[in-house]
Structure 1
Amino acid sequence: MQTITNTATRYGWATIVLHWLIGIIFIGQFMLGFVMVRTQSQRTAFELIQLHKSLGFLLLGLVILRIAWRLGNPAPLLPSSVGALERRSAPLAHLALYVFQLALPLSGWVLVSVSTLEIPSMPFNLFVMPNLPLPESDAAESFWASAHWYLAYAGIGLVALHVCAALRHHFLLRDSVLTRMITPSSAGE
């Protein structure tokens, strides 16, 4: 029977679902952001921006949930084939991913909060998300737009490295690092 929690050798359902859901949304947000700023139609661009903001708030909530879950459910031990350098660098790489997954939606929230356009954020048209209590200005909006852009490209670079590392483990090292994030733990493992 498969479990919701992690074991010493595999991830549980909760971790796996959160990992892949966050990954899909994170990559999707990057692609959506890329498209929305290049769309000629103002109406379409506005709708894409609203969707981008909605998904950003969802991502922020999921990442906070993922971090809370991770704090209560330690990751499985790395296979014995993993070297000492990688054992030390893997936790730092995961920490960097968490930081970027928090920083990106937060920087987007700051961006809409300091915008002089004062367009409300309505996640999935369900409610108005209040702006952060920050002063509005064109200079602040320009700064946070740039910060959000740089964080997005750095974040997608980290995701690309993460994917490459997982593929390296699976195809070159032939260990269980990738498969344990696909197949959940079982009771008694």
Structure 2
Amino acid sequence: MARYTAVARALHWAIAVLILLNLALGFAHDAFPKDWAVMPVHKSIGLTILALTLLRIVWRLVHPAPRLPAAMPLWEKGAAHATHFLFYALMLILPLSGWIMTSAGTRPLNWFLLFDVPKFGVGKEDAIVGLSRGAHELLPWLWAALIAIHVGAALRHHLVLKDDVLRRML
């Protein structure tokens, strides 16, 4: 069985956990007590996702993914590739849109209080800030739906089709 490299698997699972955590924090941030620093943690996790995604892209370019099973229908291969492309796009767009929004605000941006992160030179009136805000509010819902589809497809391969698709990433 062809498997992803250990580094690819570690990046996959680390980013997956961080995404799930950040989606939960983003969706429920108003439910947390006001004195909890939920949004600074959310922003730090987002920056971590962005950095790990860039590393993951470089790793993937140097270490291609194992081929999908030959018996897999062409439409299913296309759907898998499209889903993965959308995941990578969201792993870049959502953290960048959050960074742009934060850059237009007055609050500092830092990474887990360890160091300051430079802000982009944008103001609240800039079109890119409005576009980023819209993307940052809408795209997490698409991401959650894609995650559900991705997990469902992986479980289908493992439990129903009984092939090695899921085991390649375990």
Contact 1:111/1:145, CA 8 A, preserved across alignment: yes
Correspondence for 2:54 among 52, 64, 67: 64
**1:91-115 CA distances to partner (integer Å, 9 max, x unpaired)?**
2211111001111111110111122
**Maintained 8 Å contact 2:101/2:132:** yes
Give the Cα–Cα distance (whole angstroms) in 2 for the partners of residues 153 and 162 of structure 1.
14
1:122 offset after TM fit, Å? 1.2
Question: Paired residue for 1:43?
Answer: 35
Amino acid of the structure 1 residue aligned with 2:110: M
1:10 corresponding residue in structure 2:
3
Contact conserved, 2:94 with 2:139, CA < 8 A, in 1? yes
Q: RCO higher in 1 or 2 (8 Å CA, sep ≥ 6)?
A: 1
Residue matched to 1:53 = 43
Whole-angstrom distance in 1 between the partners of 2:131 and 2:61: 33
Distance 1:139 1:67, change over 3 A: closer
* Worse-superposed segment, 72-81 or 98-107: 72-81
Counterparts of 1:147 and 1:98, CA distance in 2: 15
Residue aligned with 1:42, SS:
coil
Q: Is the 8 A contact 1:60 1:102 kept in 2?
A: yes
CA shift at 1:147, angstroms?
2.1
**Conserved in 2, the CA contact under 8 Å of 1:32 and 1:52?**
yes
For the residue of structure 2 that corresponds to 1:179, the secondary structure is coil
What SS does structure 2 have at the residue aligned with 1:37?
A: helix
Supply the distance in 1 between the matched residues of 2:123 and 2:41 (Cα, whole angstroms).
Answer: 24
Residue 152 (structure 1) aligned with residue 140 (structure 2): yes
CA distance in 1, matches of 2:140, 2:24: 10
Structure 2 alignment gaps of length 5 or more:
none
Gaps of 5+ in 1: 1-7, 183-189
Counterparts of 1:92 and 1:109 in 2: how far apart (Å)? 26
Aligned residue pairs, count? 170
Q: Is the 8 A contact 1:123 1:129 kept in 2?
A: yes
CA distance in 2, matches of 1:145, 1:122: 19
CA distance in 2, matches of 1:73, 1:145: 34
Q: Deviations over 1:90-147 (max 9, x none)?
A: 22211111001111111110111122xx100111111111111112339875653332
Calculate percent identity across the aligned residue pairs. Answer: 38
Instruction: Tell me the secondary structure at the aligned position of residue 71 of structure 1.
Output: helix
Radius of gyration: which is bigger?
Answer: 1
1:5 alignment counterpart: none
Q: Which residue of 1 aligns with 2:107?
A: 119
1:123-134 map, 5 Å: 123-134=111-122
Distance 2:114 2:158 in 1: 42
Root mean square deviation of aligned Cα: 1.8
Q: Which of 73, 98, 106 is the matching residue for 2:63? A: 73
On the 8 A contact 2:123/2:129 being kept in 1, the answer is no
Cα distance in 2 for residues equivalent to 1:15 and 1:104: 21
TM-score, normalised to structure 1, is 0.83
